[in-house]
Amino acid sequence: MLSTQIIRNMSTANRLSQIKKLVVIGGGQMGSGIAQVSAVVGNEVIIVDQNEELLAKSRSTIEKSLQRVAAKKYKDEPEKGKTFVQESMSQIQTNTDAETAVQNADLVVEAIVENLKIKQDLFKSLDAVAPANTIFASNTSSLPIRDIASSTKREDRFGGVHFFNPVPMMKLVEVIKAPNTSQETFDALFTWSKSLGKTAVSCKDTPGFLVNRLLVPYTAEAVRLYERGHGSIKDIDIAMKLGAGYPMGPFELTDYVGLDTCKFILDGWREAMPDNPLFDGSPLMDKLVSEGKLGVKSGEGFYKYNNKGQKM
């Protein structure tokens, strides 16, 4: 039986959104987070990834995160917290076959590797099998939605939903209207994002949308500031936390997001806009990434981390 809390979450969500059946392609950090927040409001969710091991890891990430949420939400009612976790988990299924998973989907959100060709190939194959009314969306952090959508025959039913890490905690979703996204599709994505308890903002299909367009050059400039010898990594982080009220300093944030992800975004923009100094690279980032020091996920980036992801 569903708990009162889940029913309340569901009825609020249903009033706000017609999207109830969600398929998330990619069970990494972002995909798992998107699946989690959708399951909590009663969406039927299927997570797709390449193999059972990755899917098991995704389920385990979600369960741990739900337990953190429950510990706070049901502080004095541990039994209710347990029910909340169990029922949210029961909304989530997994599948290694994307084409089977999308058969009944209202919405497919892709959160896979930031590679245009791989994303295009994925959506091209799903376009052939998904119902005509299924909306497609990408959680890309840097690629143009229009370029991904062009691989399908449903560009009007294709948009962007950009979430932030950690998805259960970050309150924003950027909803992106590409040139061919219909108003109806944009409205459905906007309403669905709000049904997850998030605040949605409307974005044009421009590089980095709003947040990353500001955040990525800012973190890159922090690295260049350090390279110029103007401050230590620790001091720059302290300065931005205490002087600007940011929850993390730029180096902590880059470690958290992943050095490879940040470098990839910057490299892509520099290639497209070589004259813009905001997108200049940095020898230190190149070196760390080439050494596999990618941040929290690899145990070392600008800082070192233990196996719980805590700074050492």
Catalytic residues: 141, 162, 174, 212
Among 248, 298, 299, 303, binds ligand 3HC (CB under 6 A): 248
182 binding ligand 3HC? (CB under 6 A): no
141 binding ligand 3HC? (CB under 6 A): yes
Q: What is the dihedral of CA 74, 310, 53, 148, to 10 degrees?
A: 90
Binding residues among 76-135 for ligand 3HC as defined by CB under 6 A = none
197 binding ligand 3HC? (CB under 6 A): no
217 binding ligand 3HC? (CB under 6 A): no
Residue 306, classified by CB atoms within 10 Å of its CB into exposed (0-12), middle (13-18) or buried (19+), is: exposed
261 binding ligand 3HC? (CB under 6 A): yes
| Residue 95, token pair as written in the block | 């599948």
Other beta carbons less than 10 A from residue 241's beta carbon = 15
Stretch that binds ligand 3HC, among 177-185, 245-253, 283-291, 301-309 (CB under 6 A): 245-253
What is the strand order of the sheet 44-48 is part of?
92-95, 44-48, 21-25, 107-110, 135-138, 158-162, 172-177, 199-204
Residue 219, classified by CB atoms within 10 Å of its CB into exposed (0-12), middle (13-18) or buried (19+), is: buried
Stretch that binds ligand 3HC, among 120-128, 164-172, 220-228, 276-284 (CB under 6 A): 164-172
210 binding ligand 3HC? (CB under 6 A): no
CB 160 within 8 A of CB 145: yes
Centroid of chain to Cα 290: 24
Stretch that binds ligand 3HC, among 3-11, 105-113, 158-166, 271-279 (CB under 6 A): 158-166
Binding residues among 3-62 for ligand 3HC as defined by CB under 6 A = none
161 binding ligand 3HC? (CB under 6 A): no
169 binding ligand 3HC? (CB under 6 A): yes
CB of 22 to ligand 3HC, least distance (A): 19
**What SS3 class is residue 297?**
helix
| Residue 207, token pair as written in the block | 């590089």
| Residue 247, token pair as written in the block | 């929850």
228 binding ligand 3HC? (CB under 6 A): no
CB 181 within 8 A of CB 137: no
CB of 131 to ligand 3HC, least distance (A): 29
CB of 133 to ligand 3HC, least distance (A): 28
Other beta carbons less than 10 A from residue 270's beta carbon = 17
- In this chain, which residue has its C-beta nearest to ligand 3HC? 141
Q: Which residues bind ligand 3HC (CB under 6 A)?
A: 65, 68-69, 72, 141, 164-166, 168-170, 212, 215, 247-248, 253, 257, 261
